[in-house]
Amino acid sequence: MITVRANPLRDPRDRRLPRIAGPCVLVIFGVTGDLSTKKLMPAVYDLANRGLLPAGFALVGFARRDWARQDFAKVVHDAVKEHARTPFREEVWRQLSEGIRFVPGEIGNDEAFSNLVETIADLDEARGTGGNHAFYLSIPPGLFPTAVDQLRAQGLAEQQPGQWSRVVIEKPFGHNLESARELNRIVSGVFPASSVFRIDHYLGKETVQNIMALRFANQLFEPVWNNNYVDHIQITMAEDIGIGGRAGYFDAIGIARDVVQNHLLQLLALTAMEEPNSFEAGQLRVEKQKVLAAARPPTQLDLYTARGQYAGGWAGGERVKGYLEEDRIPPDSRTETYAAIRIDIENRRWAGVPFYLRTGKRLARRVTEIALGFKRAPHLPFSKTDTEKLGDNAIVLRIQPDEGVTLRFGAKVPGTQMEIREVNMDFAYGGSFTESSPEAYERLILDVLLGDPPLFPQHEEVELSWEILDPILDYWASLPEQPEPYEPGSWGPEGADIMLARNGFSWRRP
Ligand code: BG6
């Protein structure tokens, strides 16, 4: 039954109204990095432009550059002009830029942190930022412990009554289970769990949140969302780009740590979890943790995992370097740029339904999707030739770039004959809604400033994800051979096709 409330505006759970952050300072460490330039600074501007930041807001950049405040303001300005989602408006920029400051220095340098303390104190005074501070660590993971320790030593992690101090950590959260635990030990020794915001930007994507809307706001899908009807699930995150300028970061970790441990396993959790009692952070996390705890890496790692490395060649009409020829990549690197993994979920809903996860750089196109493949109808009252062109029914959640949902089923080809062919029924975000989707980082930064935790994985989820991935990574590390090369612009190495063929499936070519 639907309860109609007299005044929905009074309901604290009413999330339809835009929520505006309270006064605060956002400090970004590593402000010269790619993430900051392309995503964080533009997202801050977009939030300001949408009226979601308060007048008492300030942005502090911290990096190893000999910049004055104006230099940094120019950097933010250029990043915003180039990458912001919403149009540039002079008056918004003027107001935002008044609260911009820069602190030069190294993470390990005490003096730089003393300057940061002073800068923040000035801002609290001059801009009325209320003593509320968020520290965004957009820095190499190896520097997290030092940064957190500096924040502790300078008293920046302390929270006075009525004020808050939060730390934001970008993935990868650790390098394996052990290091993730160690990192957590360090962070939780300084910040209480409710002040730690781990960013997995996939959770900020509209279409990722729509997985929950689709599953739990409708009656249509949930009855078939189980092993009675689904025979396998494919989760794909394909990119057509190579590693770009991120050689140092990427070669040290590989694609499984880069995106499977976080984005893909989060997509799996949202697809497979039970319905939470509510969307309150605790409830949601419990369900995600339960399903991740039931997810198993393959016991036959040689048969049900595949890894690859892109070779040089032609892709999208241009000649591209192979991974081993990229700048700053050792010519004998064994780092994988493609990974495919079978995961089984040992619970009543999913027993017997393999989940296949795959991701890769330099693949045929950029696409992220979750495809549920259905079992054949138990009986087809047609002749075999009638249904020759009928594939399996499917529900495809198109996460990006062409956001929406596709249902695939069989329909009769017009004419006097009985011939059944598969057709698609599409919902496209662009066709149904006039609003354009906010960038994931807009939503996540706003949630940090609001202190709203549902979209941030907790440490338990991080640990469970490493428990799934660690045996696979150890197995790959033990192999003497290089990852299998694959053509740029292809759908990955042959080994991944063989892996699926073992179970009688083939990968989708979205
Ligand atoms: C990041 C990874 O988390 O996600 C990158 O570190 C990857 O390697 C990126 O390119 C993809 O994000 P999106 O939002 O473009 O799918």
Give the phi and the psi of residue 297 in degrees, each rounded to 5: -70, 160
| Nearest atom of ligand 1 to the alpha carbon of 250 | 8
Question: What are the C-alpha distances in Å from 23 to residues 80, 216, 455?
Answer: 22, 35, 22
Please identify every residue annotated as catalytic.
Answer: 263
- The helix-helix angle for 281-294 and 265-272 (nearest 10°) equals 100
| Nearest atom of ligand 1 to the alpha carbon of 202 | 14
Residue where the block lists tokens 């740590």:
257
Task: Judge if the beta carbon of residue 259 lies within 6 A of ligand 1.
Answer: yes
Strands 484-486 and 305-310: parallel
Q: Compute, in angstroms, the gap from residue 34 CA to the centroid of ligand 1.
A: 12
Q: Is 49 helix (H, G, I), strand (E, B) or coil?
A: helix
Classify the phi-psi angles of 148: left when phi > 0, otherwise alpha if psi is within -120 to 50, otherwise beta: alpha
pLDDT at 2: 43
Closest of 148, 143, 150, 123 to residue 26, by C-alpha: 123
pLDDT at 3: 42
pLDDT at 434: 86
Asked whether the predicted pLDDT for residue 237 surpasses 80, the reply is yes
**DSSP annotation string for 192-209:** -GGGEEEE-GGGGSHHHH
Of 430 and 203, the one with more pLDDT? 203
Task: Judge if the beta carbon of residue 170 lies within 6 A of ligand 1.
Answer: no
| Nearest atom of ligand 1 to the alpha carbon of 255 | 8
Report long-range pairs for 221-224 (Cβ below 8 Å, ≥24 apart). Answer: 221/395, 222/275, 224/374
| CA–CA gap between residue 211 and residue 233 (Å, rounded) | 14
Contacts of 127 (CB under 8 A, 6+ apart): 23, 25, 56, 57, 58, 98, 99
Q: Per-residue pLDDT tens for 82-99?
A: 999 999 999 999 999 999
| CA–CA gap between residue 16 and residue 110 (Å, rounded) | 44
Strands 24-29 and 338-345: unpaired
| CA–CA gap between residue 265 and residue 262 (Å, rounded) | 6
User: Residue 316: which pLDDT band, with cuts at 50, 70 and 90?
Assistant: confident
Please work out, in degrees rounded to the nearest 5, the angle formed at the alpha carbon of residue 253 by the alpha carbons of 249 and 258. 85
Q: Compute, in angstroms, the gap from residue 35 CA to the centroid of ligand 1.
A: 10
Q: Compute, in angstroms, the gap from residue 259 CA to the centroid of ligand 1.
A: 7
Which residue minimizes the CA distance to atom 14 of ligand 1?
A: 202
For the stretch 170-206, what's the b/e string if a residue is b when 16 or more beta carbons lie within 10 angstroms of its beta carbon? bbbbbbbbeebeebbebbeebbeeebbbbbbbbbbbb
| Nearest atom of ligand 1 to the alpha carbon of 262 | 3
- Cβ–Cβ < 8 Å for 39, 72: no
Q: Compute, in angstroms, the gap from residue 261 CA to the centroid of ligand 1.
A: 13
Radius of gyration of the chain (CA): 24
| Nearest atom of ligand 1 to the alpha carbon of 258 | 6
Which residue minimizes the CA distance to atom 3 of ligand 1?
A: 259
Task: Judge if the beta carbon of residue 239 lies within 6 A of ligand 1.
Answer: yes
Lowest mean pLDDT among 276-280, 301-305, 498-502: 276-280
Strands (E), 300-416: 305-310, 313-315, 318-320, 338-345, 354-360, 367-374, 394-400, 404-412
Task: Judge if the beta carbon of residue 258 lies within 6 A of ligand 1.
Answer: yes
| Nearest atom of ligand 1 to the alpha carbon of 263 | 3
As a whole number, mean pLDDT of residues 123-148 equals: 95
Which residue minimizes the CA distance to atom 4 of ligand 1?
A: 259
Contacts of 146 (CB under 8 A, 6+ apart): 107, 108
Q: What rounded mean pLDDT belongs to the chain?
A: 95
Please work out, in degrees rounded to the nearest 5, the angle formed at the alpha carbon of residue 207 by the alpha carbons of 310 and 38. 60
Residue where the block lists tokens 């698609």:
424
pTM over 0.85: yes
Which residue minimizes the CA distance to atom 7 of ligand 1?
A: 259
- The helix-helix angle for 265-272 and 206-216 (nearest 10°) equals 20
Q: Per-residue pLDDT tens for 364-412?
A: 999 999 999 999 999 989 988 888 888 899 999 999 999 999 999 999 9
Q: Per-residue pLDDT tens for 446-477?
A: 999 999 999 999 999 999 999 999 999 999 99
Q: Per-residue pLDDT tens for 152-211?
A: 999 999 999 999 999 999 998 999 999 999 999 999 999 999 999 999 999 999 999 999
Domains of the chain, CATH where assigned? 22-170 (3.40.50.720), 203-440+457-501 (3.30.360.10)
Q: Compute, in angstroms, the gap from residue 196 CA to the centroid of ligand 1.
A: 22
Mutate to test the pocket of ligand 1, among 257, 258, 260 (most ligand atoms within 8 A of CB): 258
| CA–CA gap between residue 150 and residue 106 (Å, rounded) | 11
Asked whether the predicted pLDDT for residue 346 surpasses 80, the reply is yes
Sheet holding 57-63, edge to edge: 100-104, 57-63, 24-29, 133-137, 165-170, 196-199
H or E segment and range at residue 136: strand 133-137
Which residue minimizes the CA distance to atom 8 of ligand 1?
A: 258
Mutate to test the pocket of ligand 1, among 35, 206, 259 (most ligand atoms within 8 A of CB): 259
Strands (E), 15-132: 24-29, 57-63, 100-104
Q: Compute, in angstroms, the gap from residue 220 CA to the centroid of ligand 1.
A: 32
Mutate to test the pocket of ligand 1, among 239, 262, 439 (most ligand atoms within 8 A of CB): 239
Handedness of CA 488, 327, 201, 77 (dihedral sign): negative
Asked whether the predicted pLDDT for residue 102 surpasses 80, the reply is yes
Contacts of 453 (CB under 8 A, 6+ apart): 194, 197, 281, 447
Q: Compute, in angstroms, the gap from residue 129 CA to the centroid of ligand 1.
A: 32
Please work out, in degrees rounded to the nearest 5, the angle formed at the alpha carbon of residue 467 by the alpha carbons of 462 and 471. 140
Give the phi and the psi of residue 473 in degrees, each rounded to 5: -65, -40
